[in-house]
A = this chain, B = another copy of it.
Amino acid sequence: MKALVAGGAGFIGSHLVDELLKQGHTVVCVDNFFIGTRENISHLKGNPDFIFYEQDLTELEKLKQIFRAEKPDYVFHMAANSDIQASANDPTIEYANTYTTTFHLLECMRLYGVKRLFFCSTSAVYGDAQGQYVDENYTPMRPISYYGACKLGSEALISAYSYMNDLHALVFRFPNVIGPRLTHGVIFDFIRRLQADPAQLTILGDGTQCKPYVHVLDLVACIAHLMDNVPQGVSVYNVGDMSFSTVTHIAELVVRGMGLENVTFHYTGGRGGWKGDVPVFGYRLEKIHETGWKASMTSDEAVARTVVEFLKKKV
């Protein structure tokens, strides 16, 4: 099977590429290094099953050329601006990199008859559910970030393209994904700041913000678990673990992982860390669990492991 992985040099995408290659598939990786890096795929150089295109997905005609040349069987769409804070001051980043990328991939699938799509969506589509545990049919969906809005818009496009073109899709709504090759987010920030000043750490909000974190390897395992059984139409899954990590506990795990002691935490106060952030968030996971998949790590275990992985790499 030939899989086109859009955003395949990115954090999640590159792990998925590794898994697909391990399973014996041919991988066509398309990335513009907007967030993805050459380093993430450097170990694949020379692999005859790995084909790489440095290409911005916002250029539709160029993307069509790739589909024409490569004729992929499956499309994995992991391309997006994943840094919500970065787009807060410039929503055009999300319009181009999160929404338009989806539209262009779907257009190519329509034009070249590709029938299977795997889409990386997000818990941000739900907006602020005020601490409720959300299942896949939670309503009303009111995203509070441009990222969440463009992902929800992408899901809507997938729904229409699926119906109009007999295209079948799995949509995975992930919470915070962490692990090797991550380039931003709270763990990364804490490590950087403690490396600069090991005596104190400023924490946005009051530290009680509470979210599930999932390790990227669990997530890739989940996609692999489901990829050979794509039902007709669009199937949406929350993916993650039922457990949570508070921001304060993440700080403690980072401090412990770095071997530090007597670190003073300063809180900026308030409910959320930054505008567009959803401070308390819980997932219902019955649907994904019914498929036989479960996360192998709790949220705290994923955080602790990620800290170790970061430090090993000497970030």
A interface with B by C-beta (< 8 Å)? 88, 91-92, 95, 99-100, 103, 106-107, 110, 125, 127, 136-146, 148-150, 152-154, 156-157, 159-161, 163-164, 234, 236, 275-276
Contact = CB atoms under 8 A, between A and B. Distances in A.
Contacts of A164: 88, 144-146, 275-276
A149 B157 CA distance: 5
Given A91-B107, A91-B110, A141 B163 contact: no
24 contacts: A91-B110, A91-B160, A99-B99, A99-B153, A127-B159, A136-B140, A139-B139, A140-B236, A141-B156, A142-B163, A142-B234, A143-B159, A143-B160, A144-B163, A145-B163, A146-B157, A149-B161, A152-B152, A153-B153, A153-B157, A156-B156, A160-B276, A163-B276, A164-B276
Contacts of A107: 91-92
Given A91-B110, A110-B91, A136-B140, A160 B149 contact: yes
Nearest to A234: B142
Nearest to A160: B149
Contacts of A138: 139
Nearest to A104: B95
Contacts of A142: 159, 163, 234
| A interface majority secondary structure | helix
Contacts of A146: 157, 160-161, 164
B127 A144 contact: no
A260 B296 CA distance: 72
A103 B161 CA distance: 21
A103 B153 CA distance: 11
Given A92-B107, A140-B137, A156 B160 contact: no
